[in-house]
Structure 1
């Protein structure tokens, strides 16, 4: 919250973020530098008699997954921010020890949220992996839902998070909120570049892999 003093909670107003582009840039920076990627759920401006207040809605942290900032974990120590102790990191990770996050059911998810192209790729991979025990003709005869049940991506209770991650249409990523369902490719060195890849991961991993390259560096001996 900007425009409010920390200790007294008095409204003093702020001029930050009057340009929407500044807010968009901040949201992208948060998304790029957090791991797993996340950002503000919303940014709201409140008019107060004492000045303008800017409110950032921060999504709750996913259970069992500590959020890193630029590769490091931090925690609050009173009013200060300090590196997160190892025992606290272990405690956070232990939250999901007995729960498979990917196996949880996604409420409101429907089969129409899945990409037909991604399902076709998954079906071919499933057929190749199980060629020794299930005839390809049998696998091809299954309906889309039957295949997803055999693959363990859909249960009687509904569609799993793993199913949305692997096979979901790009526009279905909101079903996994507050997590950002993205893979990021970064190029670091003499050149700098990055690209984000969303769901379905079964397709985007192939696109990401195509961006990976090994740069040859020639090291010449120093002149004597």
Structure 2
């Protein structure tokens, strides 16, 4: 390491795999995590085994020394281990004396092949000396380095057909026939071994991880250890306090039905609104429950050893979560795709589940979930990705009756437009392209991030008053109000103008933004229009007409 330090200090400058930091007393842990992620990923891309972060040295290789203690280094190590994914740590931490000053060299491992390293759910990279997000090209280069083994197709040599549930095999035959009606008579003549091969659950009579997951006896779960075939259902009350729970394991083909039975699917009654809405519907469409749960099973990253969790909240939401990155990268990519996703984490398992009628033809299920929710005027499914988790929230009620009314009265909206308007309704940030699209369609107005429904939508939905409150008036309207006030009362303090104007500024603005807008209007009137003047002080202005 002494030789490596000499080599690092002799470099002309920092690069993708070497970073110098003064860090005389301490170093920000969040920044350290970002650099760890970036340097690990860049070491992988540069085909290096290690990258280096050096404390006590300036960018220009001037040695200034560091007083960071061993206790601090141990705290940094724990922080890195807790928040990186996959979980990694420093290869070594080395303390040297150079020019009479202490220098600490942190040796960082290259990201494992096919696995970009993230810090708190975000993947970082470097462009020369600059820290930034790992770009799509670099992400793909790392992910495509090795063709990952399909965990679900792996054979368990110790297992046999006696480890499978007879009841589950019987149910699998029934579902296979539903999917392949033309083979009904032929399937009846197949032995269990032949059927399992034909249904692509086993391979040449050998038991796979897929066979244990879907058809295995509960006591057979140990064959896939440290992976788990566990789904946990939790019921929480309105205060987010756990009221009940139950764990389910293999055979998941049967237990998916049992989990569905645990969910209390009440009826949702709409407020009568001139027949715009149906009288009542199920809070959760049975298809959505089935699809969301089976998607968790199909796409879980079983190598991470996690379990699938279904949380039923009494505030009318269902939350499904599973381990693993979301491979298509975004929901929009799934919704807009003309063909199914080409890469699957568990291709063998997924194909088996399609064959057993557990999930729709690959790629179409999520789009159908969105359409079902939009037809009920319920909020669309909410997907969250990060920290190698995928979470989807299904809401079983109308959150905003005005928003639902908008959708009901504009039936020509496309699914993409509904998705974008759903983001606006949930106060989610739109990209510049998404905002421009809605503006071009005249569906929203305002400036990002403070977008609101447009006059076109307001007119169609009878919400013209709400539209004016959100959009506000032209600046000239507020200026005239101020001048009329001064004409009537001769002078006005800051408090007077606040009371006059703030309440009628656009509702899309928060309090600070409203105050800032009023300051700008007054500035324009006094400096540009020169229609008013301050006869008081800067701290206590008294405004009068010129």
Q: 1:103 aligns with which of 148, 153, 177?
A: 153
For the pair shown, the structure with the greater C-alpha radius of gyration is 2
Q: Which runs of 5+ in 2 are unaligned?
A: 1-81, 94-118, 126-138, 266-313, 317-396, 400-546
Structure 1 residue 141: Cα displacement: 1.3
The residue correspondences of 1:88-99 to structure 2 (distance < 5 A) are 97-99=147-149
| Alpha carbons of structure 1 residues 171 and 124: separation in structure 2 relative to 1, 3 Å | same
| Alpha carbons of structure 1 residues 203 and 87: separation in structure 2 relative to 1, 3 Å | farther
Whether 2:187 is the aligned partner of 1:139: answer: yes
| Alpha carbons of structure 1 residues 75 and 203: separation in structure 2 relative to 1, 3 Å | same
C-alpha separation in 1, matches of 2:224 and 2:194:
23
Structure 1 residue 189: Cα displacement: 2.9
C-alpha separation in 2, matches of 1:205 and 1:102:
18
C-alpha separation in 2, matches of 1:159 and 1:201:
16
**Match of residue 166 from structure 2:** 116
**Match of residue 196 from structure 2:** 148
CA-to-aligned-CA distance 1:165-196 (integer Å, 9 cap, x gap): 00000111110011121011122333512211
Contact 1:173 1:181 in 2 (8 A): yes
Q: Which runs of 5+ in 1 are unaligned?
A: 1-68, 220-224
Number of aligned pairs? 148
**Match of residue 246 from structure 2:** 195
CA-to-aligned-CA distance 1:64-117 (integer Å, 9 cap, x gap): xxxxx9xx95734549xx6354369x7997688532211111121101000000
The alignment's C-alpha RMSD in Å is 3.6
**Match of residue 28 from structure 1:** none
The residue correspondences of 1:41-60 to structure 2 (distance < 5 A) are none
Q: Normalising by structure 1, what TM-score?
A: 0.55
**Match of residue 71 from structure 2:** none
Higher relative contact order (Cα pairs below 8 Å, separated by 6+ residues): 1
**Match of residue 178 from structure 2:** 128
Whether 2:255 is the aligned partner of 1:204: answer: yes
Q: 2:264 aligns with which of 184, 207, 213?
A: 213
C-alpha separation in 1, matches of 2:169 and 2:208:
14
More helix by share: 2
| Alpha carbons of structure 1 residues 110 and 74: separation in structure 2 relative to 1, 3 Å | closer
| Alpha carbons of structure 1 residues 95 and 176: separation in structure 2 relative to 1, 3 Å | farther
